[in-house]
Amino acid sequence: MRRIVIVFSFSFLFIFNSFSQNAVSIPANTGYAVPAEEEDESLFQQGKGLQHWTDLKQEIQYFFHLANTGKLNIELNVKNAQAGSVVSVEINHKSFRLNIPDSKDFQKKLVGTIDITDSGFYSIKIKGLKKGGNAIADISSIELSGRAVTGIHFNKKSRRNAASVHLRYPISDTTKLISFYNEITIPENADIIHSYYMSNGFSRGYFGIQVNSEKERRVIFSVWDAGNEAVNRSNVADSNKVKLLAKGDGVFADDFGNEGTGGHSHWVYPWKTGVTYKMLVTALTDSASQTTTYTGYFFLPEQQKWKLIASFRAPKDGKTLRNLYSFNENFVGVNGQLQRYAYFGNQWGQRENGTWVELTESRFSYDATGKAGDRIDYGGGMEGGMFYLWNGGFKPANTKFGESYLRPAKNIKPTIDLTRNADSVIQALLDQQLIFNAIKNKQIDTMGNRSGVYFNMLKEGTGKVVSVTDTVTVFYKGYLLKDGTVFDQTKEKPATFPLSRLIKGWQLGLAQTKLGSKIQLVIPSGLAYTIRNRSQLIPPNSVLVFEIELVSLKTRLKN
């Protein structure tokens, strides 16, 4: 008899240890509310779990991945200071009813046991059926045990965002790109609040579309400062700060921090799912000052025109575009359980000599949340001739870090015409007001205008009359009307140009002018470089002033 008791004790100890080893505790603060709580609510708190749950229409969800089959026991560590609360707990299509204990201290209450017959992601959904007092329940943890728990994965951290995922487009070190063109399409039902779908990323910034709320969507273009400040831009030296040079009509621009610092711009625009949007970033370098001017342009399919978002000058740079990439980001974690999806296609880069190269390769990567293994629901690849990314949704990953994809070449070079842009009418009015103010303040003088170009004849010539088809030799000085910055001028020797190859403002302003004349031209941006990022010293939408002396001209012989 004594021998039998000893054997029974060892058997019981083995079962107990086996049970205790197959048990995990999921912190209740890692869950999700459906509908989601407001950002300023304290529904989920680190170290405290779920608190202040009062809405019977709000479901609480928890997610985990099971690698093994077998029994799964579910318990809730739960309390309510007042009696009467009842909840239902659903898992794998089975529902259990649980009376919440009337207690000021958390108590473990068995919900039920189910059989897991297949590996994969599972969810626990908790619904309030009755409230005891003002609250439904406080939950500190979800306790899981049984054979199925072996090898379980769940996010232990309070950060509930899905992992950010990236596509990087490798280019050789010798390929100097001054433009990066990409197209982005968000499929139906993937336009989830707190999503940033970034299309044109580069070493100093990023450019993409965002869902901020049920009512607001944005196009965002930002450029990082130089230096290492990560949080507060007021700590950044002026020599390290990027400078806003220009922005499109209706675009908001200010600073950003907390993820590095820099210049931020956004335009509120109701972009739609299922529509392909074209985006372009250009880089204009100045090796002497070690600066690069980055400009973001967004194509409006409903107008078939490009729109300037913003142009920033970045210090301590002087380099062309590099480290090109795209990403999906879930930037607020209240709905990090939802899947985000984006397609990226027809990527091109433009070289310094103006030729284009198609970018047909990408490589997958993810952020610290993915690297730490906190979230394992992500993916990417190539489909229908386009690259794609997805994150969230608690679905099995379909790729791994560093995996490369190739898409078939489309051989469809981007067509970029920035002269007829979306803001041209509004900008013409702004230019006109700037010119009128300059005249009123006696900053400039004028004798009138020729087809929109204001002129002042400083000296009347007596020679031949200039024609647009002529080649002119001139002394000139060009500066910005806005602040007087001189961007170009001749010195000892004059310059010679075919007039037909110069900006429209020169053609209109010099036509009918006599050889030997000295003339001042005030040229609105629409007759100059419009929204193009022409040079380091000429921002987009600049009104230009030229002082020109006509030295000689050569008339083209007619056939």
pLDDT tens track for 309-347: 999 999 999 999 999 999 999 999 999 999 999 999 999
Nearest to 450 by CA among 391, 385, 509, 533: 509
Instruction: Report if residue 242 sits inside a domain.
Output: yes
Q: What is the CATH number of the domain that holds 174?
A: 2.60.120
Q: Give the mean model confidence (pLDDT) for residues 172-199.
A: 96
- Exposed e or buried b for every residue in 314-352, given b needs 16+ CB within 10 A? bbebebbbeebbbbbbbeebbbbbbbbbbbbbbbbbbee
**Whether 304 and 220 share a structural domain:** yes
Domain end position, chosen among 406, 432, 466? 406
Are 175 and 324 within one domain?
yes
State the average pLDDT over residues 7-21: 41
Same domain flag for 319 and 446: no
Contact 397/366 with Cβ under 8 angstroms?
no
Residue 554: partners with Cβ closer than 8 Å, 6 or more residues away? 470, 471, 473
Count of other CB atoms within 10 angstroms of residue 412: 11
Which tens digit of pLDDT belongs to each residue from 142-172? Answer: 999 999 999 999 999 999 999 999 999 999 9
Asked if the structure places residue 559 within a domain, the reply is no
Distances (CA, A) of 462 to 118, 192, 550: 94, 69, 11
DSSP assignment string, 130-197? E-BTTBSEEEEEEEEESGGGTT-B---SS--PPPPEEEEE---TT--EEEEEEEEEPPTT---TTEEE
**Phi and psi at residue 499, to the nearest 5°:** -60, -30
| Residue 130 sits in the same domain as residue 211 | no
Query: How many residues in total does the chain contain?
Result: 559
Does residue 415 form part of some domain? Answer: no
Which pLDDT band, with edges at 50, 70 and 90, does 559 fall under?
A: low
Query: Which residues fall within 8 angstroms of residue 385, CB to CB, at 6 or more apart?
Result: 345, 407, 408, 410
d(CA 291, CA 63): 48
pLDDT in tens, 65-92: 999 999 999 999 999 999 999 999 999 9
* pLDDT single digits (tens) 435-447: 999 999 999 999 9
CATH of the domain at 115: 2.60.120.260
Residues 59 and 186 grouped into a single domain:
no
Phi, psi angle pair for 2, to nearest 5°: -60, -40
Q: Do residues 323 and 399 share a domain?
A: yes
Average pLDDT over residues 224-252: 96
Reported confidence tier of residue 434, pLDDT bands at 50, 70, 90: very high
Q: What percent of the chain has pLDDT over 90?
A: 91
Give the pLDDT score at 556: 73
Is pLDDT of 1 > 80?
no
Residues 354 and 466 in one domain: no
Residue 530 CA to residue 350 CA, distance in Å, equals 20
- Residue at 154 is within a domain: no
Give the list of residues 6+ apart from residue 107 with CB closer than 8 angstroms, or none. 77, 78, 79, 101
The answer on 270 and 186 residing in a single domain is: yes
pLDDT at 358: 97
The string of DSSP codes covering 21-35 is HTEEEEEGGG-EEES
Q: What is the pLDDT of residues 31-48, one digit of tens each?
A: 999 999 987 778 999 999
Tell me, yes or no, whether 7 lies in a domain: no
| Residue 12: predicted pLDDT | 40
| Co-location of 216 and 329 in the same domain | yes
Judge if 175 and 70 occupy the same domain. Answer: no
Boundary-marking domain end, from 149, 176, 207: 149
Query: pLDDT per residue over 129-138, tens digit each?
Result: 999 889 999 9
Domain containing 189 equals 165-406
**Which secondary structure element, helix H or strand E, spans residue 434, and what is its range?**
helix 424-440
Same domain? For 284 and 182 the reply is yes
235-245 pLDDT, tens digit per residue, is: 999 999 999 99
Per the domain annotation, does 78 fall within a domain? yes
Q: Is the pLDDT of residue 20 over 70?
A: no
Domain-located, residue 104: yes
Q: What CATH number should be reported for the domain holding residue 531?
A: 3.10.50.40
Average pLDDT over residues 5-18: 39
- Mean pLDDT over the full length of the chain: 93
Predicted pLDDT at 535: 86
- What share of the chain in percent tops pLDDT 70? 96
Q: Which amino acid is at 27?
A: P
71 and 127 share a domain? yes
Please give the pLDDT value at position 21.
Answer: 56
At residue 214, does pLDDT exceed 90? yes
For residue 438, is it within any domain?
Answer: yes
Asked which of 125, 149, 173 is the last residue of a domain, the reply is 149
The number of distinct structural domains making up the chain is 3
Tell me what pLDDT residue 8 has.
Answer: 37
